[in-house]
Amino acid sequence: MTTHFSKSIKSALLALSWVAVFSCKPGDFGTTNINPNASEIPVTSALLTNVLNQSARGFTTTATEPDLYIQYIANSQYPEASLYSTVNADFGGYYSGPLYDLQNIINYNTNTATKASVAAYGSNNNQIAVARIVKAYFFQVVTDRWGDVPYSEALKGAPTPKYDTQQAIYTDLFKELKEASAQFDGGTTVQGDILFGGDAAKWKKFANSLRMVLALRLSKVDPTTGKSEFASALADAAGSIATNADNAAFAYLNNTDFRSPWAAAYDGRDDFGVSDVFVNALQSSSDPRLPSLVAKISSGKYLGIPYGLKRDLLISWTGQNPQYSHPGASIVQADSKGYIMTAAQLLLSRAEAAQRGWTSENATTLYNSAIRASFEQWGVYDATTYATYTASSGVSLTSGNALQKIGTQKWIALYPNGYEAWAEWRRTGYPALTPTPYAVNVSKQIPRRYGYPTSEQTLNKANYDAAVARLSGGDIHDARVWWDVK
Amino acid sequence: MLLASAATYAQSVTLRGRVISAEDGVPLPGVNVAVKGTSRGTTTDANGAYQLDVPNGQATLVYSFIGFIRQEVVPGNKTTVDVELSSDASQLEEVVVTALGVKREAKALPYAVQSISGDRISPTRQTDVNNALAGKIAGVQVMSQAGSNLGASTSIRIRGAGSLNDKAPLYVVDGTPVDGTNLFLSPDDMESITVLKGPNATALYGQRGDAGVVVITTKRAKANGGIGLEVNQTTTFERPSLLPKYQNMYGGGGDSEWQTFKWETGYPEEWKALDGKRYHDYTDDASWGPKMDGGEYIPWYAWYPGTQYSNKTAAFTPQPDNVRKFYNTGHTYNTNVNFSKAGENFNVRLSYTNLRQTGVQTNTDLKRDQINLNSELFLNKHFTANASIQYNIQRLNGYFSDGYSNQTTGSFSSWFHRDLDMDIVRQFADYRSPIGTLVSWNHDNPSVPFVQNGRFYKGNYWYNFFSYANNISNTGQKDLLLGNVSLTYKLDDHFRMSVIARRDQRNENYENKVPTIMELSGWQTGLKAAYGTAQITRREDNFEFLSAYNNTAGAFTFDFNVGGNIRKNFYRDIYAGTKSGLVVPDLYTLSNSRDAINYANNRFYKEVRSLYGRGTIGYKDRVFLDFSGRNDWSSALPVNNNSYFYPSVGLSVIFSEMLKIPTLSYGKLRASTARVGSDLDPYQLSLTYGVGSVKYGNNILMSTPDLLPNAGIAPALSSSYEGGIDLKFFNNRVGLAATYYQEDKTNEILTVNIPAASGFSSQVINAGHIRRNGVELQLDVTPIRTPRFNWDLTVNWAANRSKVIELTPDVKTFTVPNYNDAFAFARVIHQEGQEWGQVRGRGIKYLDGQPVLNGDGTYQTQNDVYFGSVLPKFTGGAFTSFRYDDLTLTLSMDYGKGGKYFSLSNFWGQYSGLLAETAATNDKGMNVRDDVSAGGGVHVKGVNANGEKVDTYVNGYDYYHQFGNNGIAEASIFDATFVKLREINLGYNVPVRKIPFLNGKVRSASVSFVARNPWIIYVANPNFDASELAGKFGENGQLVGTRSIGFSVRLGF
């Protein structure tokens, strides 16, 4: 028994010593928890490339919903969106996507611990300047869609950012664009810039142009500020986008990953045709851009889909008309261009500013130059047709209704950039559009904003409630953003 | 045991005999044979034989053996008494396998444990471990998958949900922790399944046991007289079970107008025969077409040349069985052969299972081969070596998708033409059009340009279902290796020590091929010729040591374990696929991709080190104090805070031993409390940036992750309390177990949504407080027990409530990731103050309980309506068996009450005019599709925006489109209540010893009739089987459920 017991003791000691060996440093795992799949430090130029790749896609210039609202296109099979079924849309993707990537570029180029290492991708100032300009561009799209949105407290990782008023956001965007333009320091060129190749002069023109677009948005709500901001941008020595060579145009590539979203939309699906409204408008004015903007059907005709039919009527129509016009080849080709901001658009903005008396420029000259720039952009410029077109009574500024004509020309020139065209239509009311009679929304009117993401009602309730309280009619798409004054 | 001296009884008689198992005729060694009322007795030897002197023939002999029903015999004049003992499932539970594989007496356990064993595991020999639990264990909710989805893995929830992340339980096979998904074990290899429910039972398993533990013990060889060969064969035949109720009045098309074909130049000459005939809309895939009036029309297949149907019209008639006709009869052949032998120094069991299954869907099959080896070598009186190895290979072939618009149910219930004759669709499976494409029922309407450019000869949205299934090739192979080897040193009867190495390794290999003909034959199908492949390796290794000590001191018993463990989790995958089609048709290599290939490659590694101990102190076999403690160190936690300790303590009292209440044969009170800690996945402490797989020119792309990590994360701890009572009456013929539990999970490690305007859409935090509590009841009754007839009944019932008491100071809502349908019409949300797992989506706006209607009679909508929790209010089941001589009938049923789900099939089935209600008769006796002016339409009652009553009719088309137009989930939210008879086994135990030509050659034989899912007794929504939902939110167009019948043969030699 005694030997037995001592044996047990021995074994227990053996076990304990094993425990001791085993547990000498049980909490030390060395490098085990270092992620082998990803880097701890970002390549800021790769962040910029990623952001710019999104600068002309669904977030911005190539979204089909505003193209439907503005009646550029019509649904061919499932008409819900053209009947205004979307009320709430999510803005989260802008913030956690491109906006934070831009903020991260700014952070890494600002933080003293990291700025030296990321300077390999362009001088710190140049990188920050580009990031601030692109950030302003994205924020403008966001605020124009929803109105008051998180801005001053956004992108800080703080869980519940407040909503700034659109007015405050616009004020800051003007400041940002001015400061960013001035921040280029002539140092190392920004890497990863697949929009302007690191060309600071082009970025400055883009910044000034964006200031003009923003300034003009204030034409109804605050023309005084609009006028002074516009004039200030116009006076800037760096200039603005005035020729197609300066266009902010994203070059899509002929492969699946970077092809035009329009090419992707028609690869295996056929959900959209050009709307009869757009086709008829161009046909009635014998617009020479028609062949470039709209494709013919096999019979050699242009045939737009009647805008806003409900589903059974639409299917009945497509049953009778199995073919309808798609956007033109220069839009739907895989390696076409995604126009973010163009000379035609800016020249029309300047024409409008001149017409409003904000500047002393000649409205007619600018207007005609804009039409010519648009023709050239789409490769249809011909001196004779240009002269005929600009002289026609529906087009010529001298025959009256100047603002309406400028608005209509902008509608055509912006095609197919839906968000910008929709914003301009909301601001000016041009061209006059009739809502679909089959609308499924309560007001049956064309939406004037997007409802806030439904997630905000629970995730960020207090700030959401404060923003909604500032909206007339509540968080609906018939409420108007700040600059959209009746 | 005592062997009484014969000398003391002069008139004693010597009795001989054999004791065998009534179920399989296996001799039972070690059975107690006692003379009632005396201390005389003996035990049977290795061959089940015994010899015993009894006073006289009138003495009563008592045969008892653990796990078997005690039997009494009066020998009379006989000198040979052979006895067959029937197993007693309720007694088998007396010894249970608990944490660390320690076998313990149930009476010493301070918490609820339930086991099933033997034939109860699966009367129909199905191979999914989780399915086998349905209705048999109180508090286990089984979420089965559709039978047509071969190889799909069922999941379970134990005691509802206790965590914000719906964690799966831990599975442990012979002590080895394994991944519970795709865990297919042959029922012939399983000895028992034990479910450890709450943290009190699972504390020793550590963090991974906090959602419960399913402990599986595989069979080992036992000494028996035969040659140790057993053969089991089951063959079953399968047919689809529940299908939605479809309308059978209106045919295909997006509008109800007939169109008339006018031949013109450019069309094929032979189509002149069809000139002037009518046709419905083929292009659109809804069924809002014209009435199926039996009249002449041009069917979809008349346009193709060279068939018996070419250029001929047909009658437009309903095809009520067209969906059912799509399916074949499935076959399953499950064969098991096993060998076992046990001797004084060893036991070995080798088992091979071969499963061959063809599904109800065309071109689907599953092959599974399983080898299970269990062996033990008793090297000397101190050392025992053990090896237990399970190797499975599964090959799955065919197209299975539970997702939206899958090419079977995704069409039938969402987008389909009710006029299709499925036999004719089948005849066109391999037909080639004039331009060489495969043809579809869903082609364009005839037009000269589309005929000339070939588009007319392609499928618009859909392929011919059979062409699709025959041409698409999806194959997957899964290899599974589970096993452990151990060496035990036994010093004496009190102390032993083991070292054990365990492994769970999975290798998965997938290949998908889309032939070029599919790309050429589709118009809007979006399909490109493609080749994709993936390889995934998962491995978990556990190295552990365990020492055990037990002893007795006076009235006290002691039982202690101390152990340690190192766990290593390793994962690696490589995915690659062609992009935008193949260059060389039908050449399936990655390099044949039209664009740069898609690829991804991930790996992770995690390590957890643990030390633990447990003990039980017993007093007079009546009072037991149980305690445990465990400390974990996790590599995934911050270095300065990666250690966490959690204890448990419990007490059980066998009060029946003290109180001696008549009729009460056993009574126990138990109570326990425990904490459990947990960690998180690796690499979540800091932001890291991956490089995208594509480049813009030479520019790489990178993005900031949307998940904000947390370098200060701390281990999470939860605490729970449990109490219960176990009662047995009337000599164990009635047993009742009741348990109440409450668990509080606080400070969980969560990935919560945050406002994305912060720059991140989610964040890792420590937060939250979930409380779950519930009651579990189990009743075991043997209402009839006679030598010839026996009836056993087990009924269980469990109610659980899981409530989200607190989330975070900032965020009150947690959107459960990936718990939404394909369109996110409905999501599963945890909302502070509400029950766990609310289905949320757009609803109808109500004013004082009345729906608010727009001017046109459609509903006004309301965002973010909470429709209720996905968790059932209560669950349960019943298991019963009747034995009459050698005939046994076993039935297993289960039910769930409540719980909400969203059905995407219903959503689109209404939108597309497929479901019966879209062509129902209204209260005026007219069809809802008839014009409202003619008395048709859906009767709608409600109020307008001012609260004034509205009573109107809305055209059926507009009524059923409003839900799709406005994304209203409410009309597709259902109650998941169901009652289901799940398994039937009618078996005959062939009395081999009474049949001369079998006796001595065959040890045991039985034949059975089996049926799986024979009867869906009740479902709240009769269109869908709520017990087989593919997603936690509901269903996405899921595959069809099946019912199967067959027979089973078992032979032992």
pLDDT range class, residue B66, cuts 50, 70, 90: low
Are the Cβ atoms of A43 and B689 closer than 8 angstroms? yes
- Nearest of B704, B808, B690 to residue B759 by alpha carbon: B704
Query: Could you tell me whether strands B593-619 and B556-582 are parallel, antiparallel, or unpaired per DSSP bridges?
Result: antiparallel
**Both tokens assigned to B961:** 């489109």
- Which helix (H) or strand (E) segment holds residue A235: the answer is helix A223-235
* pLDDT for res A235: 97
Residue to test with chain B: of A257, A301, A438, most B Cβ within 10 A: A257
The residues near B376 (Cβ < 8 Å, ≥ 6 apart) are B220, B346, B347, B348, B384, B385, B386
Nearest CA in chain A to B261: A320
**Which residue(s) pair with B737 in the sheet?**
B726, B778
pLDDT reading at B858 higher than 80? yes
Torsion of CA B405, B411, B412, B416, to 10 degrees: 140
Cα(B42)–Cα(B1000) distance, integer angstroms = 26
- Nearest of B96, B65, B85 to residue B726 by alpha carbon: B96
The residues near A102 (Cβ < 8 Å, ≥ 6 apart) are A47, A48, A51, A131, A132, A134, A135, A138
Looking up tokens 């063809």, which residue turns up?
B358
Cα(B441)–Cα(B283) distance, integer angstroms = 9
* pLDDT for res B618: 92
pLDDT range class, residue B737, cuts 50, 70, 90: very high
* pLDDT for res B92: 40
- Nearest of A484, A369, A338, A361 to residue A424 by alpha carbon: A484
Cα(B921)–Cα(B938) distance, integer angstroms = 9
Chains A and B form CB pairs within 8 A to the count of 281
Give the mean pLDDT of A98-123: 97
B residues 253-282 closer than 8 Å to A (CB) = 253-257, 259, 281
* pLDDT for res A148: 98
Establish if B813 touches chain A: CB-CB under 8 angstroms: yes
Are the Cβ atoms of B686 and A40 closer than 8 angstroms? yes
pLDDT reading at B368 higher than 90? yes
* pLDDT for res A13: 55
Residue to test with chain B: of A194, A312, A317, most B Cβ within 10 A: A312
Are the Cβ atoms of B757 and A159 closer than 8 angstroms? no
pLDDT reading at B658 higher than 90? no
Widest CA span in chain A:
121
Are the Cβ atoms of A158 and B758 closer than 8 angstroms? yes
Contacts of B810 in chain A (CB under 8 A): 159-160
Cα(B121)–Cα(B723) distance, integer angstroms = 27
Contacts of B526 in chain A (CB under 8 A): 267-269
Cα(A18)–Cα(A10) distance, integer angstroms = 12
Closest CB to B602 among A37, A85, A456: A37
Cα(A55)–Cα(A101) distance, integer angstroms = 13
* pLDDT for res B3: 41
The mean pLDDT of chain B is: 90
Percent of chain B with pLDDT over 90: 66
Establish if B522 touches chain A: CB-CB under 8 angstroms: yes
Closest CB to A47 among B642, B704, B761: B704
pLDDT digits (tens, 9 = 90+) for A20-75: 555 567 889 988 999 999 999 999 999 999 999 999 888 888 899 999 999 999 99
Establish if A388 touches chain B: CB-CB under 8 angstroms: no
**Length of chain A in residues, anyone?**
486
ipTM confidence:
0.92
Query: Could you tell me whether strands B1004-1019 and B978-990 are parallel, antiparallel, or unpaired per DSSP bridges?
Result: antiparallel
Taking the CB of residue B498, how many other CB atoms lie within 10 A of it? 19
Cα(A347)–Cα(B970) distance, integer angstroms = 50
**Both tokens assigned to B555:** 């009235």
**Length of chain B in residues, anyone?**
1053
Strand, coil or helix: B875: strand
Residue A107 sits at the vertex; the CA angle it makes with A102 and A112, to the nearest 5 degrees, is: 155
Cα(B444)–Cα(B460) distance, integer angstroms = 6
Give the mean pLDDT of B220-230: 79
pLDDT digits (tens, 9 = 90+) for B32-46: 888 887 777 787 876
Are the Cβ atoms of A42 and B549 closer than 8 angstroms? no
pLDDT reading at B78 higher than 60? yes
**Which residue(s) pair with A146 in the sheet?**
none
Give the mean pLDDT of A469-474: 93
Query: Could you tell me whether strands B789-806 and B874-884 are parallel, antiparallel, or unpaired per DSSP bridges?
Result: antiparallel
Cα(B793)–Cα(B469) distance, integer angstroms = 45
DSSP B444-478: PPP-HHHHHSSGGGSBSS---HHHHHHH-EEEEEE
Nearest CA in chain B to A455: B755
Cα(B83)–Cα(B52) distance, integer angstroms = 14
Establish if B714 touches chain A: CB-CB under 8 angstroms: no
pLDDT reading at B100 higher than 80? no
Backbone angles phi, psi at A412, to 5 degrees: -70, -45
* pLDDT for res B999: 82
pLDDT reading at B199 higher than 80? no
Q: Catalogue the long-range contacts made by B597-602 (C-beta closer than 8 Å, 24 or more residues apart).
A: B598/B693, B599/B574, B599/B575, B599/B693, B600/B573, B600/B574, B600/B575, B600/B576, B600/B693, B601/A37, B601/B573, B601/B574, B601/B575, B602/A37, B602/B571, B602/B572, B602/B573
pLDDT range class, residue B93, cuts 50, 70, 90: very low
Backbone angles phi, psi at A138, to 5 degrees: -65, -40
Nearest CA in chain A to B964: A80
Contacts of B282 in chain A (CB under 8 A): none
DSSP A54-83: TTTSTTTT--HHHHHHTTSEEESS--TGGG
Contacts of A313 in chain B (CB under 8 A): 255
- Nearest of B145, B245, B239, B146 to residue B1022 by alpha carbon: B245
pLDDT digits (tens, 9 = 90+) for A126-146: 999 999 999 999 999 999 999
DSSP B971-1004: GGEEE--EEEEEEEEEEEEE-GGGSTTTTTT-SE
* pLDDT for res B1: 37
* pLDDT for res A61: 86
pLDDT digits (tens, 9 = 90+) for B679-731: 888 998 999 999 988 999 999 999 999 999 988 898 887 788 999 999 999 88
CA–CA min distance A30, chain B (Å): 9
Residue to test with chain A: of B701, B810, B863, most A Cβ within 10 A: B701
* pLDDT for res A4: 57
Query: Could you tell me whether strands B13-21 and B83-85 are parallel, antiparallel, or unpaired per DSSP bridges?
Result: parallel
Cα(B154)–Cα(A138) distance, integer angstroms = 45
Contacts of A37 in chain B (CB under 8 A): 601-604, 683, 688, 690
Sign of CA dihedral B906, B911, B913, B914: negative
Residue to test with chain A: of B754, B845, B918, most A Cβ within 10 A: B754
CA–CA distances in Å: residue B382 to residues A418, B493, B794? 82, 10, 42
CA–CA distances in Å: residue B251 to residues B295, B309, B928, B998? 12, 19, 15, 62
A residues 15-54 closer than 8 Å to B (CB) = 15, 18-19, 22-23, 26-29, 32-43, 45-47, 49-50, 53
Establish if B445 touches chain A: CB-CB under 8 angstroms: yes
Q: Catalogue the long-range contacts made by B303-310 (C-beta closer than 8 Å, 24 or more residues apart).
A: B303/B271, B303/B274, B303/B443, B303/B446, B303/B456, B304/B428, B304/B431, B304/B433, B304/B434, B304/B439, B305/B268, B305/B270, B305/B434, B307/B428, B307/B431, B309/B424, B310/B270
> Using CB atoms within 10 A of its CB, is residue A32 exposed (0-12), middle (13-18) or buried (19+)?
middle
Cα(B389)–Cα(B380) distance, integer angstroms = 23
Which position has the higher pLDDT, B41 or B474?
B474
pLDDT range class, residue B4, cuts 50, 70, 90: very low
Establish if A157 touches chain B: CB-CB under 8 angstroms: yes
**Both tokens assigned to A216:** 């003009």
**Which residue(s) pair with B117 in the sheet?**
B192
Give the mean pLDDT of B603-616: 93
The residues near B374 (Cβ < 8 Å, ≥ 6 apart) are B174, B218, B219, B220, B221, B347, B348, B349, B387, B388
Contacts of B444 in chain A (CB under 8 A): 322
Residue to test with chain A: of B279, B445, B593, B702, most A Cβ within 10 A: B702
pLDDT digits (tens, 9 = 90+) for B239-290: 999 999 999 999 999 999 999 999 999 999 999 999 999 999 999 999 999 9
Establish if B858 touches chain A: CB-CB under 8 angstroms: yes
Residue to test with chain B: of A77, A301, A311, most B Cβ within 10 A: A311
Are the Cβ atoms of B690 and A456 closer than 8 angstroms? no
Cα(A404)–Cα(A401) distance, integer angstroms = 5
Percent of chain B with pLDDT over 70: 97
Sign of CA dihedral B916, B919, B921, B923: positive
Give the mean pLDDT of B359-367: 95
Give the mean pLDDT of B789-801: 95
DSSP A394-460: TT-GGGS-HHHHHHHHHHHHHTT-HHHHHHHHHHH--S--PPPTT--SSS-S---SPBPPTTHHHHS
Are the Cβ atoms of A316 and B257 closer than 8 angstroms? yes
Instruction: Give yes or no for a cis peptide into B991 (omega within 30° of 0).
Output: no
* pLDDT for res A3: 52
* pLDDT for res A2: 46
Taking the CB of residue B191, how many other CB atoms lie within 10 A of it? 17
Establish if A192 touches chain B: CB-CB under 8 angstroms: yes
pLDDT digits (tens, 9 = 90+) for B958-984: 999 999 999 999 999 999 999 999 999
Backbone angles phi, psi at B764, to 5 degrees: -90, 125
Q: What is the CA radius of gyration of chain B?
A: 33
CB B399 within 8 A of CB B409: no
Contacts of B685 in chain A (CB under 8 A): 33
The residues near B269 (Cβ < 8 Å, ≥ 6 apart) are none
Contacts of B757 in chain A (CB under 8 A): 91-92, 95, 149-150, 153-155, 161, 460
- Which helix (H) or strand (E) segment holds residue B260: the answer is strand B259-260
* pLDDT for res A6: 55
CA–CA min distance A409, chain B (Å): 33
CA–CA distances in Å: residue A22 to residues A15, B106, B560? 10, 33, 20
Contacts of B860 in chain A (CB under 8 A): 442
pLDDT digits (tens, 9 = 90+) for B325-355: 999 999 999 999 999 998 888 999 999 999 9
Question: Range with the lowest mean pLDDT among A80-89, B415-424, B463-472?
Answer: A80-89
pLDDT reading at B62 higher than 90? no
Backbone angles phi, psi at B250, to 5 degrees: -120, 140
CA–CA distances in Å: residue A182 to residues A226, A230, A238, B528, B670? 21, 17, 10, 49, 76
pLDDT reading at A184 higher than 60? yes
